[in-house]
Each structure stands twice: as structure tokens, then as C-alpha cells.
Amino acid sequence: MSRIFNFSAGPATLPQPVLEAVAAEMLDFGGQGMGIMEMSHRDKPFMQVAAEAEADLRTLMNIPANYKVLFLQGGATGHFSFIPMNLLAGKTRADYILTGDWGKKAAKAAKDFCSVNIAATSEETKFTTIPDRAGWRLNPDAAYVHITPNETIHGVEFLDTPDVGNVPLVGDFSSTILSRPVDVSKYGLIYAGAQKNIGPAGLTIVIVREDLIGKVLPGLPPIFNYAEQAANDSMLNTPPTFAWYMAGKVFKHLLAGGGLEAMAAVNQRKAEKLYGYIDREAFYTNPVDKACRSWMNIPFTLADAEQDAAFLQGAKAAGLAGLKGHRAVGGMRASIYNAMPEAGVDALLDYMKEFVRTRG
């Protein structure tokens, strides 16, 4: 068996030691004579896995005690709607900062439930920057301010948490959660689909300050109600047990590797290697403002788009997959999440250099 380097934006590559550990207990989890996938979520062994995953995530992210951690479904896209349903709490307005297509989608979904104020957008730059904080037109009556800390398609990342005063800050961390330390106390709510930096698709993590939940829009089904889910340990119905279990394995793997500070050091080094080369080599271009370049998703174009197909074909032959850029941006995109080894970035750089030498 030989594994390739998978640069897919999501679902994405997972840590090999985690995959090996999961494979080893696929048929028999902990001497139970059955796999974890086949077990009731109410059985003790799974309940323990679930509780440990939450405890480990709390340790990893240093989550304060007054925050609930929920293991839900629906994807980040589902929560684009569940968030206003849960957080409006009698208010009628929410602020959105747009730095890419995911934030745009989140704002559009919220329009079904409240009056959405686009307090700032960098769309006129084709989402290659973050609007200057001083120019944000925030509404003091907003129920929350929504940002997308890392825009997966455009490769634009907030490298600092913006100060929005007393209005709760909500962040769609789908493609950057666990890539670096984050001060959870600066957010009212953090959410992330698992399939980029956590584990398999089907799990969505919500970390929410407990005083913000419980006052939902009338008619909201309990399954979408964060307070109900919190009161039931995210087990109002059958949770995505396998994804939850695997996320727990990833959390333990990260803790054993030194936690998020250690991850951040590696991630920064990986990203700087790639940006450094792209900036030095005229054949490749990354259009994003240097102050907000993503550590996780690095889009780049070739000087000659006619060569895109040859680039991708050669990459595949060299064991480098998933590099085709998003259709909204074109060109290439290298997603280098936590689980992408530094050797994968080195292999990509070698290939990019070789491509310029032979075709550039």
C-alpha cells in the first residue's frame, strides 16, 4: 500500500497514525467483540469515548467552563440557519463580515430569519483581503457579528481575532479549527464541520457560551435547539458515533503532539515555505494580501492557464492529489491542514520547481 499526498480542501487527509489505530480496532473495539460503529450510543464504551473526546477538545482549545461543546450534524451549512434560529433571542438583526463565498452563504441563509447587515465586505477585491476593522459598520443592536476566520476557497484568514465590543462574535472555523491556539472567550459561538481539520464528514462541532442559548425562534424543532442538545449531551437522537469517535482520536493525537501551539509552529512553517516560493517564482501567483494569507488553504495560479491540465496530470503522477482550484477562483489550491505532513509540502514544492524547469 502506498499513500499519496492529498491536498483536497475537504473531506481531507487525516493523520496516518489515527487511521491505523482506527483500522486496528475496526472489528473489535476494546475487547467488546464488536466495532464502535456497531455499538449503541447509550452503551458505556461509547459514552466514555464521547466524554473523553469532549474533555480532550476542552483541553486542546482551553475552552472555558461556561461554554457548551456540542457534537451535532447538519454540516456548517446547516448551522448557517441554526445559528440565527438559536442566537437571535428576540433581536431582529445580525451583522456579517464577508471575506469570501462561505461568509456570503452564511449571510444569505440568515436572511430567512432576521435582517442581515453586511457590515463589511471585501468582495470588490474578489475576496483577496479583509476589510479594515476601522471601516466596519457594526450595529450595536445586532444579536451577533458573524465572521469566517478562514475562507477555504479564497485562502483568506484572520490572523487575529477582531474586537467587536459587547456583541457576541460568531466564527465559522470549519477550515481552521485546531490549526493554532484561539482565545475561545473572545467568541460567543465557534462552529466547524469536521471534515477539514477534525475527522470524517457528518459531524459538526459547536462551542457556545451558555448564556447565549435557550431563547429560540418559535417552532424550532428540538433537534436544532442548541440548549436542548446541550441538556442531552448532544444525544437527543443518535449522534454520528463513528465521526465522534474518530474526532476523539484526532484530539488525542494532537495532544500527544504538543497541542495547538506545536501545531501552529508546523503549520506556519509549512505555509511560509509555500508562499515564499510562490512569491519568488514569477510563474506562480497568489493574489491574497500578505496580512491575511491562510495557513490552511493556499490558492495559486500558473502564469499560463493553458498549462493547468498538464500541471494537474503531472502532479497526480508524482503522487500529489486534490490540487485543482475551486471553480470560483480557478488555478490551483493546496489545502495543507494539520494532517498534511511537512514532507507533503516539500514534495509539492519539488514538483512545482520541476514543472517550471521543464514547462515554465
Ligand X SMILES: *Cc1c(COP(=O)(O)O)cnc(C)c1O
249 is catalytic: no
CA angle in degrees (0–180, nearest 5) for 176-79-54: 60
Would you count residue 11 as binding ligand X (CB under 6 A)?
no
Among 128, 175, 179, 301, binds ligand X (CB under 6 A): 175
Among the listed residues 29, 71, 102, 158, the single contact to ligand X using CB under 6 A: 102
Q: Which of 196, 249, 270, 324 is catalytic?
A: 196
User: 3-class SS at 167?
Assistant: coil
Question: Does residue 322 interact with ligand X by CB under 6 A?
Answer: no
Q: How far apart (Å, rounded) are the C-alpha atoms in residues 275 and 28?
A: 44
Catalytic residue among 68, 95, 101, 102: 102
For residue 355, give the nearest of 322, 298, 317 by alpha carbon: 317
Query: Is 96 an interacting residue with respect to ligand X (CB under 6 A)?
Result: no
DSSP characters for 74-135?
A: SHHHHHHHHHHHHH-TT--EEEEEESSHHHHHHHHHHTTTSEEEEEEE-GGGTS-S---GGG
Residue 75 in the binding site for ligand X (CB under 6 A): yes
CA distance 12 to 323: 12
- Least Å from the CB of residue 86 to ligand X: 17
Take residue 253 and report the three cell numbers written for it. 493525537
Ramachandran quadrant class, 20 (left: phi over 0; alpha: psi -120 to 50; beta: rest): alpha
Residue 206 and residue 255: Cα distance in Å, rounded? Answer: 20
Task: Please identify, using beta-carbon distances, which residue of 196 and 209 lies nearer to ligand X.
Answer: 196
273 in catalytic set: no
**8 Å CB contact between 333 and 9:** yes
For residue 133, the minimal CB distance to ligand X (Å) is 20
User: Does 172 help bind ligand X (rule: CB under 6 A)?
Assistant: yes
Applying CB under 6 A, does 131 fall inside the site for ligand X? Answer: no
**Which of these ranges, 30-38, 61-69, 74-82, 311-319, lies near ligand X under the rule CB under 6 A?**
74-82
Q: Which of 68, 104, 172, 295 is labelled catalytic?
A: 172
Binding residue for ligand X, selected from 73, 128, 174, 301, defined by CB under 6 A: 174
Looking at the Cβ atoms of 12 and 352, the one nearer to ligand X is 12
- Work out whether 56 is an interface residue with ligand X (CB under 6 A): no
148 touches ligand X (CB under 6 A)? yes
Is the link from the previous residue into 11 a cis peptide, with omega within 30 of 0? yes
The answer to whether the beta carbons of residues 67 and 207 sit under 8 Å apart is yes
136 is catalytic: no
Residue 122 binds ligand X, judged by CB under 6 A: no
Judging by beta carbons within 10 Å of its beta carbon (0-12, 13-18, 19+), is residue 238 exposed, middle or buried? Answer: exposed
CA distance 234 to 207: 12
239 contacts ligand X (rule: CB under 6 A) = no
Interacting residue with ligand X among 8, 152, 286, 294 (CB under 6 A) = 152
Can residue 10 be called a binding residue for ligand X (CB under 6 A)? yes
Q: Catalytic residues, which ones?
A: 102, 172, 196
Q: Which parts of this chain interact with ligand X (CB under 6 A)? A: 10, 75-77, 102, 148, 152, 172, 174-175, 193, 196
